[in-house]
Amino acid sequence: MNRRTLLATVTMAATLAFGGAAFAQDKLKACWVYVGPVGDGGWTYQHDQGRLAVIEAFGDKVDASTFQENVPEGADAERVLTQMALSGCKIIFTTSFGYMDATNAVAAKFPDVKFEHATGFKRDYPNVSTYNARFYEGRAVMGTIAGRMTKSNKIGYIGSFPIPEVIQGINASFIHAKKVNPDVTMSVVWAYTWFDPAKEADSAKALIEQGVDVILQHTDSTAPLAEAAKTPGVIGFGQASDMSEYKPSPRVSSIIDNWAPYYVERVGALLDGTYTQKDTWAGIAGGEVQIGEITDAVPAEVKAEAEALAASIAAGTYHPFTGPLNKQDGTPWLADGVVATDADFGGMDFYLEGIVGDIPK
Amino acid sequence: MFGSIDPSLLIASLMVASVPILLAAIGELVVEKAGVLNLGVEGMMIMGAVCGFVTAVETGNPYLGFVGGAVGAAALALIFALLTQYLLTNQVATGLALTLFGLGLSSLIGQGYVGIKPPMTGAVPFGPLADLPFFGRVLFGHDWVVYFSVAVIAAVAYVLKVTRAGLILRAVGESHDAAHALGYKVTRIRVLAILFGGAMAGVGGAYLSLIRVPQWTDGITAGAGWIALAIVVFASWKPWRVLLGAYLFGGITVLQLNLQAAGSGIPVEYLSMAPYLITILVLVVMSSGKGRASLNAPAALGQNFHASR
């Protein structure tokens, strides 16, 4: 190769490279920020499945290849978001409650970039939308199975942080377990983490030692199921993701967060110009909350009962929080036949009647 | 308040919960007895956790996993040994750097291994002994690492107290100049001690990722290495007291979760800080008695040795 052909090759390569870059600019760039690793098998994994669904739905029109794992909630999140906005992301999904302030702070600086914050409630700027799923609907179904399946009449709940979303889950599970099994009691252990397998395993172990034989978890790893697998007769549920590697027992069912329809809808809206700021809170009916396959470890009539409950919630004929319901101290919360409103949920900082223990402040 | 907590279960699970810090602490005790302060225990533990996990998953053999964990952590300890023993770097700074390096490197190695189930390690079959009331559960229902950890304590106690090798190791830690004058290879002995400390920390880390959790995730050790370091001081460099210290810490950790699950009226915040609070408290009490604990520290601890001096 002489010098002339070499130069020609270099020029051609450069043209191709820059041409390619220019072409990439035409694509809509969508980016994701994750609180855990994609391989957590739970929360973050499901968000990443949603991202992959966007790639599948739009192909060449969208560049959804950018995501950042293990981003701490706090100052680091703000740096990551700023970096993404500067690198040409047009829509950024921030997928943990703790990114709320960082999302709004960065959104103020980049009015042309759309921000989508999961499970939050702050929309300080017109370019911030929020989305959430009605996990408590799924919890009601899990609670029904738990109440029917427990032999010791003790069920356990591994809580992450004492925030309304988690307390809704505890209350929904308990009242539905109690409905089918009046003798049931519930122990709650607060792990103070979303993802710490060692701590989650220890919490599950402590619950099992207390005689608990059904474990519900609000933390994201599969460690509690791995711990339950060590003791015959103890069952649990997949959280956020199907966790199907623990089928058919201890994982007898699961509550799956399905973000794909929402992500496809929002990116699609941005593509065709119909995008508006909004607050989305869908549940079983909207497909955001799915009940994972109920395995054969559960008797057929219990399975049918759980599926019927899920169907009635989806159809809107039944609301998991329907009065009469009292607070833990016995004061009335909902009168007979009254259903909880979304405002009630946002401020839920109390246990319902029958749960023992205090919520940490 | 303690009514529904079964003591035999509690003792059995505190023995399991203590294994990682117990192994890491006894390894560090030998290192410090040789006069080397290695603050990189946390980094070596997590390297052991990831290397053990990768080995076990790739070979399908949990026992090889523990060997892999020990080798991986010892390899990291070798870096520390080269830096501090041959290049004479500051031991405190090098140890801290080792922890940071280990945390980052383990995260890199573990990239493709998140969310995988490792091969299971079962309990040692003791046959009818395991069915004994109380003792069956406390003594005969564990996996082999629990027994191994106690055996290591016994072996280290014996070697340090009774054998010539132990005497030489202690001599190196008390006065490396005197040991050198007597013709002992100070640097070589220290390197071997550091490698032993690394291997023990590695087995402790592998116990976390292969048996206790069992799963790989970034930062799985969550500060256990630092607790191990505190327990060596707590034990005033005596092997059997390491066992006591580790079981005390592990016991309170398990007890606080059990108290939560049993629905005691104690606020969760106090329960969560109890293990750390009590460790600090005991450390203060131990070292208050006119410097008794510090008198027991090896005299040459943390000092670099070079034959020319």
- What pLDDT is stored for residue B188 in this prediction? 95
Which residues lie below 8 Å from residue A89, measured CB to CB, with a gap of 6+?
A29, A30, A31, A66, A113
- Residue A195: its chain B contacts at CB < 8 A? 217
Tens-digit pLDDT profile for residues B6-55 = 888 888 888 988 999 999 999 999 999 999 999 999 999 999 999 999 99
Which of A158-172, A316-330, A343-357 is predicted with the least confidence, judged by mean pLDDT? A343-357
On whether the CB atoms of residues B254 and B7 are closer than 8 A, the answer is no
Write out pLDDT tens, residues A174-197: 999 999 999 999 999 988 888 778
* Token pair 């070499």: residue: A6
**Averaged over A307-322, what is the pLDDT?**
92
Chain A contact for B167 (CB, 8 A cutoff): no
Q: What is the pLDDT of residue A8?
A: 53
Q: What is the pLDDT of residue B83?
A: 96
- State the DSSP string of B230-271: HHHHHTTT-HHHHHHHHHHHHHHHHHHHHHHHTT-SS-HHHH
Instruction: Please report the ipTM that was assigned to this predicted complex.
Output: 0.75
As a dihedral over the C-alpha atoms of residue A179, residue A181, residue A183, residue A186, rounded to 10 degrees, the angle is -70
B168 burial via Cβ count (<10 Å: 0-12, 13-18, 19+): middle
Say what the alpha-carbon torsion angle A142, A143, A149, A155 is, to the nearest 10 degrees: 120
As a whole number of angstroms, the distance between CA A238 and CA A36 comes to 17
- State yes or no: pLDDT of B2 exceeds 60: no
**A291, two tokens:** 């009940």
Which chain A residue has the Cα nearest residue B3?
Answer: A210
Residues B5, A209: C-beta atoms closer than 8 Å = yes
- In B, residues 234-273, which contact A (CB 8 Å cutoff)? 253-254, 257-258, 260-263, 265, 267-269, 272
CA nearest to A280, candidates A269, A271, A294, A295: A269
Query: Which pLDDT band, with edges at 50, 70 and 90, does B292 fall under?
Result: low
Cβ–Cβ gap B5/A195 under 8 Å: no
> Would you state the pLDDT for residue A108?
94
User: What is the pLDDT averaged over residues B87-109?
Assistant: 93
- Residue pair B301/B39 in contact (Cβ under 8 Å)? The answer is no
Point out the residue among B10, B213, B265 whose CB comes nearest to the CB of A223: B213
What's the mean per-residue pLDDT of chain A? 87
**pLDDT classification of A16: cutoffs 50, 70, 90:** very low
Are B248 and B282 within 8 A, CB to CB? yes
Least confident of B244-248, B252-256, B282-286: B282-286
